[in-house]
Every structure is written in C-alpha cells, then in structure tokens.
Amino acid sequence: MSEGKRTLMTAAWVVGHEEGRHTLLPGGEVVYQDGAILFVGHDFPGDVDERIDYGQALIAPGFIDLDALSDLDTTVLSFDNHPSWRKGRVWPKSYMEAGPYEMYSPDELVFQKRHAFARLIRNGVTTALPIASLYYREWGETVEEFEGAAEAAANLGLRVYLGPAYRTGNPVVVEENKFELFFNEPRGLKGLADAISFCERLEGRHGGLVRTMLAPDRIETCTPDLLRRTAAAGKDLGVPVRLHCCQGGFERETVRRLHGMTSIEWLKSLDFLTKKTLLPHGTFVSPSRFVPEPGRDLEIIAEAGSVIVHCPLVAARFGDGLESFSSYRERGLRIGLGTDTSPPDMLLNMQIGLMICRFVEGKAEACRAEDYFDAATLGGADALGRPDLGRLAPGCRADMVVWDLANPDIGQIIDPIQTLMISGSGRDARTVIIDGRMVMRERQIPGMDFAADAVRAQRQFEGLVEKYPDRTWAHPTAEEIFSSAYRIVRSTGAAQG
C-alpha cells in the first residue's frame, strides 16, 4: 500500500497532549499522514513531503459539537419575540387540523444542511452531531434529507454523526396560553424504524467520516414506548442516543403531569440512560433555581454515566444556564458542548459559559479557560467514546484548526487559550483540517461560494417568514409576529422639491 503525503505544520503555538491532558508547545510541530497524526512535539527527526509554517497562530484540535446547528438562523425568529405560543413556535390547533406541511422544499433542506455544515467548519468545528428545528417541518426529519446530509458532509469533509429526528407527539396551542400534547405513536415508531435502517446503512460510510446516532426529539414529544425502543436500538446498534431534556418549564410540567416524575427520573424508569446517552441541555434539574424542589436528577445522570450537552449561548439567551458548569464537574458529570443556535460559534459558547459559571458561583476562580477548552475537545471525544478525537497525539485522527493570532484585534498573549477565551471568535479560524484533508484554507472552502450561499440562505429564510402566519396562533401577519428594534420608517417614494 502506498503512503500518502507526509505534512509537517508548525506555528507559534501548538496544543499537544500528554497523559490525558492538553499541553502547549511554543514553536511546536504537528506531522500527519494518511489522515492520522504521526508526531506532535519539536524537531521531528524524519523526512516530510511538505512543510507549512503558520507563523503567529495556534494549531489546536478541532471542536466537537454535540448539538451542532444544522439550520439556517432560526434564532432571529425568537430572539425578541415572546411568548413562544403567540409567536409561531408552538403549532396552533388550526394549523394541526389543516394538516402541517413542510415549509422548505427538499432542495432547500439539502442546501440548508450543506450551508450549515460549511458554517460549522468556518467556526472550527471538526466533528458535528447536527440539530435543527422541527417547528417548520411536517413532522420529523426524513431519511432522504439525511442521505443528502451524508453526501454534503463527505463532500465538504466534515466528520459527522447523523440521525433523522423523530417523535410521537407535538404540543399544540388549544386556547390562549394553553397547550395540549397531540400524539401519533405509529408515526413516531415509523420514524424510529426509518432511523434504525438509516444507521444500519450509513454507519462508517465515507472512510468512517460519516457515523450515525439516534435522535428522538425533545423528551415531552416522546411516548414511553418510543423511548424504550430507542434505548434498545441504541444498545443493539452501539450508536449514541441524543435526547433534548431538562431544558425548560413547559417540558418539566408536561412530564410531571403525564408521568408523575422529573424527566430524568422518567428516563431512569424506562432504562433509557447509558454511557452513550447525550442530554442537551441539563439546565432544569432538581434541585436548582429552575426546579426548586428536592431531587436526585444529577445523581441519576452521574450514576448512569450519561453526558450533559452544555449549550451556554442558547440557554443564556433564554435567561437560563447550568447551575453550574463547575459544580456539575465536581459531581463527576461528563460534559460536552453544543452550539445549538446561531451563530454556531463554539468559542462564543465557551466564553459565555465561562462568564455564566463565574457569575452563578460568584467568583472568578469558579472555572478556567482550559475547563471549557477541555469540554469542547476531550469532553466531546469522551462523550462519543472516541479517544482518537479531540486531541493532537500520535495515532489520533488529524482533525485540526489553525487559529489566527496575528490579527491585531486579538490583543496580547501570555497564553493562547486564554487569549482566545477573551477575544477570539469563530471567525478567527483560518484553516481547518479534518481526517488529514484541508477542508478550509485561509477561510476558503473548496468548491463553495459562501457569499452567494448567504444570499440564497436569506431568500430561503424570507420564504419561511412569509409562511409563518399559517402556524401562528390566531394567524397574525408576519409584521405583527416579528417585532423590530425600532419603528421602521420607509421611503414614501415622493420626491422632495
């Protein structure tokens, strides 16, 4: 077997790895070949085919995004538009009865995934477990679009774990501020069967770049049978199972009303929790300020060895957050990170997460820059059972990001991780290498016109906004649904004399 090109990369700083901890190597070198890392250190003794010196930059392991935004920006729909039932984020009964429909065409769904995957790469994410909203879907995600997503990921070179989201239920607004759960169990079980067959067919495709997972939607939209069967299938297939839970008051009240316990107690009773269970968001747990009653939620998660998928940015925008990141770590909980919202900027998530942890704990010493850097790299790799990801060490996959430290806006440096946590942004990712393939070079992704795609994405998004009144309570106009920061003053068209 002939060997591929051997490349040596060097920069002002390299994140190495020794004895389970990252290290920092000033003027370090990384050598990789055939998708794997051969050497990390100084003064590589062997021959190489190519040398690249990135100068004032940091070469670091890519981020592992366990709840990776694979949508257009749906955050702007909700950001300053509340409550959700009045603003089209819970379907009204009238829309349900009229027959929900797909608000994006199949082509638009494929474009959206590809565009979102490119955005992840542009933010230094090298492994992604995609998530998208189901609000504008007819019901769940489809196998066809995920086959398209697998192609898009392989084409761009993004490492992914894919699985179409499915559900047996959906909340419906029946009168002002009053919801009921509408269930269609056969439909959800069909979604699970399709997802299982997707996993069987797609696992390990494209040289292992495409892996699979099971992704039932939020816990309150699942029936016990769907969750039991999902857990069993996850064990059979050996794939991660991701379920949104402990993320809000509506969920907590619904699960309590329907099942008489907390979300986590319910999952335990269904034998759902394993070491491969990924749980975004884990904020509304007992006891916490959000669930002010005694409870064992965190102990149950820790005992099962399941993983909290911490998504600080989306939580903070909704006025909540982990209470706290550092105390969860002290309890021995496994924690990985997710972007979950727009922008899919992992660095921004880490910065917000750090600040919220320090605020909640009331002290600057509550957590350090590396605690978040570990969660975004080693935490994600641990969650996926992938000791070959999330670190730069011989034998690991060559998944790396070159971060620009030469930009004068970045400020000064004692330690490059701390500087990134202070003033870095996803936009500082210069070059991204995944499985030894250069998927972004100096912010250019081969074969992609990102500016033209952004225009197309805006047009597609405007089509969605136009359809919004169909699935908003009492069907107000789009202008009434979406507030603006200030009164909009348009030209009257009359020439002034």
Q: How far apart are CA 291 and CA 266, in angstroms?
A: 16
216 vs 280, which CB is nearer to Zn ion?
Answer: 280
At residue 304, the 3 state secondary structure works out as helix
Q: How far apart are CA 244 and CA 166, in angstroms?
A: 12
Q: Which residues of 90-126 are buried (b: 16+ CB within 10 A; e: fewer)?
A: bbbeebbeeebeebbeeebbbbbbbbbbbbbbbbbbb
Only segment of 48-56, 333-341, 392-400, 433-441 that touches Zn ion (CB under 5 A): 333-341
User: What amino acid is encoded at 14 in this protein?
Assistant: V
Only segment of 79-87, 226-234, 338-346, 390-398 that touches Zn ion (CB under 5 A): 338-346
- Pairing between strand 91-92 and 169-175? parallel
12 vs 165, which CB is nearer to Zn ion?
Answer: 165
108 vs 217, which CB is nearer to Zn ion?
Answer: 217
Q: In whole angstroms, how close is the CB of 341 to Zn ion at the nearest point? A: 8
For residue 172 the two structure tokens come to 């419906």
Q: In whole angstroms, how close is the CB of 309 to Zn ion at the nearest point? A: 8
Q: In whole angstroms, how close is the CB of 64 to Zn ion at the nearest point? A: 16
Closest CA to 165 of 120, 132, 187: 132
User: What amino acid is encoded at 215 in this protein?
Assistant: A
Q: In whole angstroms, how close is the CB of 389 to Zn ion at the nearest point? A: 22
61 vs 280, which CB is nearer to Zn ion?
Answer: 280
Return the bridge partners of 389, or none.
Answer: none
Q: In whole angstroms, how close is the CB of 317 to Zn ion at the nearest point? A: 11
At residue 373, the 3 state secondary structure works out as helix
356 vs 434, which CB is nearer to Zn ion?
Answer: 356
Q: Cβ neighbours of residue 134 under 8 Å, at least 6 residues apart? A: 140, 141, 165, 167, 217
Q: In whole angstroms, how close is the CB of 307 to Zn ion at the nearest point? A: 14
Q: Token pair 């474009």 is at which residue?
A: 111
Only segment of 263-271, 340-348, 459-467, 480-488 that touches Zn ion (CB under 5 A): 340-348
Site string for Zn ion, 263-282 (x = CB under 5 A): -----------------x--
Interface with Zn ion (CB under 5 A), residue total: 2
Q: In whole angstroms, how close is the CB of 334 to Zn ion at the nearest point? A: 18
Q: In whole angstroms, how close is the CB of 311 to Zn ion at the nearest point? A: 6
- Pairing between strand 437-440 and 429-434? antiparallel
264 vs 433, which CB is nearer to Zn ion?
Answer: 264
Only segment of 32-40, 179-187, 336-344, 459-467 that touches Zn ion (CB under 5 A): 336-344
Contacting Zn ion within 438-497 (CB under 5 A): none
Q: In whole angstroms, how close is the CB of 403 to Zn ion at the nearest point? A: 26
14 vs 346, which CB is nearer to Zn ion?
Answer: 346
Site string for Zn ion, 275-314 (x = CB under 5 A): -----x----------------------------------
Q: In whole angstroms, how close is the CB of 340 to Zn ion at the nearest point? A: 4
Closest CA to 72 of 105, 102, 122, 115: 115
At residue 128, the 3 state secondary structure works out as strand
Contacting Zn ion within 13-72 (CB under 5 A): none
Q: In this structure, is the dihedral angle defined by the CA atoms of residues 273, 275, 278 and 283, taken in order, positive or negative?
A: positive
Q: Which residue is nearest to Zn ion (CB)?
A: 340
Q: In this structure, is the dihedral angle defined by the CA atoms of residues 384, 390, 393 and 397, taken in order, positive or negative?
A: positive
Instruction: Determine if 340 is a binding residue for Zn ion (CB under 5 A).
Output: yes
Only segment of 116-124, 193-201, 263-271, 334-342 that touches Zn ion (CB under 5 A): 334-342
Q: How far apart are CA 3 and CA 80, in angstroms?
A: 54
Q: How far apart are CA 442 and CA 179, in angstroms?
A: 49
Beta strands across the sheet bearing 29-33? 36-41, 29-33, 6-10, 50-53
323 vs 340, which CB is nearer to Zn ion?
Answer: 340
Residues in touch with Zn ion (CB under 5 A): 280, 340
